[in-house]
Amino acid sequence: MGQVILLDINWQYHQSVSLQHAVRLICRGVVEVVKAADEEIHKGFLKPLVIRLIKAIRKFYGRAVQWSKTNLFIRDDHTCQYCGKKFTVAKLTVDHVLPQSKGGKTTWENTVAACGKCNNEKDCEHPTGWHLRKKPTQPTVMEFIQKKTKAFGVDQILKDLGVY
């Protein structure tokens, strides 16, 4: 595992960081090591697997989740919002509910994950004949972190490591 899991002060998944970044955070005293491997990366210094922030990051909780294709697929649980089937990232596309050709913007409220078949069938039609599984909305930071944790299997990794 080249990445180190970074938890926030409430033991929630925050993000994965490189080993080098994790070591810098440890040396600065910003994090504590929750779980380490048996492998030494320096004399007397074990390779960290899971680290946890010691203080809360205020600015993190006030930020909105930035729109990106990856974040959209996580929000929609890698599921086509028209047919309801789960797909890999390679088979999903971004669909604009109100097509860009008709003035639709690339926003959380106007984009959904769709499989290639549904997206091609819908083409540039207005969404009248197409029914979405759920209304597209901008996710809150906390709800997005929970979905991201699930999407990347971090919960299972933490359970396997005995963190919780």
Tokens 């299997």 correspond to 153
Please give the pLDDT value at position 156: 73
Most distant CA atoms of the chain, gap in Å: 65
Query: Would the pTM of this model clear 0.75, i.e. be above it?
Result: no
Evaluate the CA torsion angle 159, 72, 89, 50 in order and state its sign: negative
CATH number (1.10.30.50, 1.10.3720.10, 1.10.8.620, 3.30.870.10) of 69-129 reads 1.10.30.50
Q: Where exactly are the structural domains of the chain?
A: 3-63, 69-129
Q: Quick: pLDDT tens for 61-94.
A: 556 888 999 999 999 999 999 999 999 999 999 9
